[in-house]
Amino acid sequence: MGAARATQTARPDAEPVVGNLVGRMAGGTGQSHPIRFRDRPDSGLGAAQLQRLQAPPFRHGAIQWQNSAMVRLEGVGLQYRPAAGGVPGPAVLSGLSFDVPEGGFRWLLGPSGAGKTSLLRLLHLAVRPTDGRLTILGTEVDHAARHALPALRRRIGMVFQDFRLLPHLVAYDNVALPLRLGGRPEGQIRADVTEMLRWVGLQKKANALPAELSGGEQQRVAIARAVVGRPNLLLADEPTGNLDDIQAERLMVLLHELNRVGTTVIVATHNDALVARHPGDALRLDNGRLLAGG
Ligand SMILES: Nc1ncnc2c1ncn2[C@@H]1O[C@H](COP(=O)(O)OP(=O)(O)OP(=O)(O)O)[C@@H](O)[C@H]1O
Ligand SMILES: [Mg+2]
């Protein structure tokens, strides 16, 4: 890990064949569900990539599937505690109760400061709730042993609002990071990362450092990194903030297809035009409270 610049060779089968998606639903029957994309060439996602994007079955011994809600909040509240200690600040989230089932899609909407990023940080296990109960992928987070959380977090993909790419790693290595942390073999990593970079249109920038990329390119690297590990839950915080309309639509194709093969997707956005073009269930926050979607 951390090679200054990765040397890669494209696999002969890595051309963007927009073919059948053979997805097995997470925790499902194991049956194949071919989905045809040949008449939608701009979906651009290779068949092999889509197969690998399917969520893995729930076979992690420590984490048992308990109910059909992928995400469940019951009276959840959050107050940030100052890093230096002292009195916790005001509640930035309060009384949040809602479920998002496995394979669900939710927009997360609300004005600036409403608490969207804070809610996504809770769902990504970056902070713990100060009130209520939070269940993620069947694990009640408040009662989970600390050592169980990294494995749980590896099943969650996150596109950060501010990208959070590692500045000393090239695009390829940034995307490869979650796979390497998960201990995947380098051969498999190369195939997945190459195909994911191709999908986001950055195959020629694989060896560029974040500082050498435009804002939109950095955002696409962040998207590739969040998705490459085939998460069961994908959280995206303003993922189109730096994308043009074509790239934003391309992202929506990816999100829809991930969602269709069983990934639960939650997308925070201010992009009203995008939401209008892709109407869906929405969680609406205002001042840390849920106005709709609970
Ligand atoms: N680390 C932190 N410590 C203390 N307060 C915080 C912290 N992060 C966010 N806040 C506060 O929490 C509130 C919600 O912020 P948050 O970033 O969740 O909003 P948001 O809906 O994502 O806004 P935007 O649309 O601008 O991204 C704000 O009042 C913010 O000042
Ligand atoms: Mg935010």
221-246 tens-digit pLDDT: 999 999 998 899 999 999 999 988 88
38-84 tens-digit pLDDT: 223 344 445 555 444 443 333 333 333 344 568 999 999 999 988 77
Distant-in-sequence contacts of 86-90, Cβ < 8 A, 24+ apart: 88/130
141-184 tens-digit pLDDT: 888 778 888 888 989 999 999 999 999 999 999 999 999 988 88
pLDDT for 40: 33
Share of the chain above pLDDT 90, in %: 50
**Residue 92: nearest ligand to its CA?**
1
Asked whether the predicted pLDDT for residue 1 surpasses 50, the reply is no
- Decide: 116 in ligand 1 pocket, CB within 6 A: yes
- Decide: 114 in ligand 1 pocket, CB within 6 A: yes
Other C-beta atoms closer than 10 Å to the C-beta of 227 total 26
Q: Which atom of ligand 1 is nearest the CA belonging to 118?
A: 18
Q: Which atom of ligand 1 is nearest the CA belonging to 121?
A: 18
Q: Are strands 91-101 and 21-23 parallel, antiparallel or unpaired?
A: unpaired
Share of the chain above pLDDT 70, in %: 76
Asked whether the predicted pLDDT for residue 215 surpasses 90, the reply is yes
pLDDT for 294: 63
> Closest residue (by CA) to atom 9 of ligand 1?
118
Asked whether the predicted pLDDT for residue 3 surpasses 70, the reply is no
Average pLDDT across the chain, whole number? 78
Count how many residues are written for the chain. Answer: 294
pLDDT for 143: 80
Gap from CA of 219 to ligand 1 centroid (Å): 20
Gap from CA of 93 to ligand 2 centroid (Å): 13
Query: Which residue among 79, 87, 93, 117 is best mutated to probe the pocket of ligand 1, counting the most ligand atoms within 8 A of its Cβ?
Result: 117
272-282 tens-digit pLDDT: 999 999 999 99
> Closest residue (by CA) to atom 8 of ligand 1?
118
> Closest residue (by CA) to atom 26 of ligand 1?
112
- Confidence at 253, pLDDT banded by 50, 70, 90: confident
Task: Kindly state the tokens that stand for 231.
Answer: 């998460």
**Residue 94: nearest ligand to its CA?**
1
Q: pTM (2 decimals)?
A: 0.79
**Residue 118: nearest ligand to its CA?**
1
Sign, CA dihedral 211-217-223-229, equals negative
- Decide: 110 in ligand 1 pocket, CB within 6 A: yes
Task: Kindly state the tokens that stand for 184.
Answer: 């995947």
What is d(CA 264, CA 106) in angstroms, rounded to the nearest whole number? 9
Sign, CA dihedral 111-256-16-37, equals negative
Q: Which atom of ligand 1 is nearest the CA belonging to 238?
A: 27
Helix/strand/coil (H, E, C) string of 165-221? CCCCCCHHHHHHHHHHHCCCCHHHHHHHHHHHHHHCCCHHHCCCCHHHCCHHHHHHH
pLDDT for 27: 29
Asked whether the predicted pLDDT for residue 263 surpasses 70, the reply is yes
